[in-house]
Structure 1
Amino acid sequence: MADDGAGQERSTMRSVERAFDVVDLLSDSGRPLRLAEVARGTGLHIATAQRILRVLERRNYVAQDSAGYSVGAAALAAAHSFLVGNHLVLTATPVLQELAAALGLTASLSVRVGAARVMAARVEGASPLRYQLPVGGRLPLHLGAGKVFLAYMDREGRSGMLGGMEKVETAGGAAIPLDEFMTLLDEVAAQGYAVSRNERVVGAVSVSAPVRSREGELLGVVQVSGREEDLPEDRLAEVIREVLNAASSIAARAR
């Protein structure tokens, strides 16, 4: 009986994991997916994928139309609950407002979700960006502020997050060999901040720093972003200082 109970629990947990796999796939896709695409993307048998989609659709976590399946309104409601109730987001928001006002740059907070980072809060600066920093969107760990998350992992952890990547390619056309990139991450960890130019978006510059708990846990990454003309070299020291201060302030308030 005990073995039967344990087996049933494992089966239930696997079903839950599969449902989240489906939601994650739809969240990352950026477009509606057909049933066959969902099955292929999650590695599920097509009949299993269909059953999971039906359950998620009944609970409004998935919506279906003529184009296929996409994330449903219930996911938006869950995201809203996170934004208005998460302690770190609530703590960081006034600090980000002060940071954006002081520097005139867009200030944001990211948290890690698996092998990606998700922007949890954003305050626009005086100089509008040419591109969107999407709250709730998944962004890569190997570009921009994501490097800070990688910097505080060991080499094995970094390699797992990079998924066998042999080089890091940026929007600006750079191709950084993996060994050189690992050295760069070591430098970020040693200095406590990262400066990124033309990495995720051409013409964009950012400065980012870790928000760490008293025990050293990496809670998130605070970042300011702007155009190249908004963040010239002669302004870099000031911006780094302000970002480091903001990261320390968020960490202190979050305790």
Structure 2
Amino acid sequence: MEVIKKGTTIQSLEIGMGIIEAIAKQGRPLKFSDIQELTQITKSNLYKYLNTFTQLGILYRTKDTGEYILGSKLIEYGMAAVDQENVIDRVSPFLHEINEKSSSTVLFASWTSNGPMVVKELNNNRGINIGAQIGTFLPIRSATGKVFMAFMDEHLIREWKAKEFTQIPQDKVSQLEDECKIIQEKEISFAREPLVSSVSSVSIPVLNYKKKLLGTITVVGFSEFIPFDENNELSQYLIRISKEISGTFGY
């Protein structure tokens, strides 16, 4: 029996993981040429790696642009690693209820080192798909991003905030900080999506007994159907169900 010496590694596996790490660090969809520039791997070899990862579900290649993002299998591994599976299991029935109540897309997002990421998406009305795919990173000015800014420990989100703040005007930064104080109090967040003006979102936190943010539930849809303040009937329903969901985690 051959004994593997301590420190022995498989170089091709190291190269493959280097590709995944490069894509993950960018936090956005990447073209083949982008990945080739980042990794400096020959085109023929890089194609083999990307094709293998795509077939395994570790990467996903979008049909319209051919860009690469992290795949569902990698997200599944990550969720298991941070012990979030139980959170997903517990919130799933509530996601279905909210989807039926709102008739809009419902997202569940968890924290990653690159910011809040969609880990579950629900939309029974497949004719109209407004929202974000699993694996999408959500910006700080989205309803989801605001909740993470309001409730996450400062040391965990410092780098993410600094990066996001470079992309918005200074007056919007101050406005965002003031808004987060209100979100901490009311435990609900609203946003007109910055990339698509006709789309709005409303987000609620999922908190545990330590008031630690486990994730966010976000309703996304056309602005005419999504509330913009807490006085709306749907807003009041979301505030109530937020307390119910967090109550299952001891909050």
Q: TM-score, normalised by structure 1?
A: 0.68
Cα distance in 2 between the residues matched to 1:228 and 1:58: 40
Structure 2 equivalent of residue 101 of structure 1 = 100
**Equivalent residue runs for 1:109-148 within 5 Å:** 109-124=108-123, 129=128, 131-148=130-147
How large is the Cα RMSD of the aligned pairs?
4.3
| Residue correspondence of structure 1 range 31-180 to structure 2 within 5 A | 31-34=31-34, 36-39=36-39, 46=40, 61=58, 70=68, 75-79=71-75, 86-124=85-123, 129=128, 131-153=130-152, 159-163=158-162, 169=168, 176-180=171-175
Farther-moved stretch of structure 1 (17-26 vs 85-94)? 17-26
Amino acid in structure 2 at the alignment position of 1:101: E
Greater strand percent: which structure?
1
Matched, 1:215 2:214: no
- Structure-2 residue corresponding to 1:42: none
Is the contact between residue 116 and residue 137 of structure 2 (CA under 8 Å) also seen in structure 1? yes
The alpha-carbon deviation at position 214 of structure 1 amounts to 0.9
Q: Give unmatched runs, 5+ long, in structure 1.
A: 9-14, 40-45
The 3-state SS of whatever aligns with 1:139 is coil
Secondary structure in 1 matching 2:138: strand
Mapped partners of 2:170, 2:178: distance in 1: 14
CA distance 1:82–1:157, shift in 2 (3 Å): closer
**CA–CA distance in structure 1, aligned partners of residues 164 and 89 of structure 2:** 35
Provide TM-score, normalisation by structure 2.
0.69
Letter matched to residue 118 of structure 1: M
Paired with 1:211 and 1:33, the residues of 2 have a C-alpha distance of: 39
Query: Equivalent of 2:226, from 231, 250, 253?
Result: 231
- CA–CA distance in structure 2, aligned partners of residues 100 and 68 of structure 1: 30
SS where residue 145 of structure 1 aligns? helix
1:97 Cα shift? 0.8
- Structure 2 alignment gaps of length 5 or more: 1-5, 8-13
Query: Could you tell me how far apart the structure 1 residues matched to 2:230 and 2:164 are?
Result: 34
| Paired residue total | 231
In 2, the alpha carbon distance for the partners of 1:240 and 1:25 equals 35
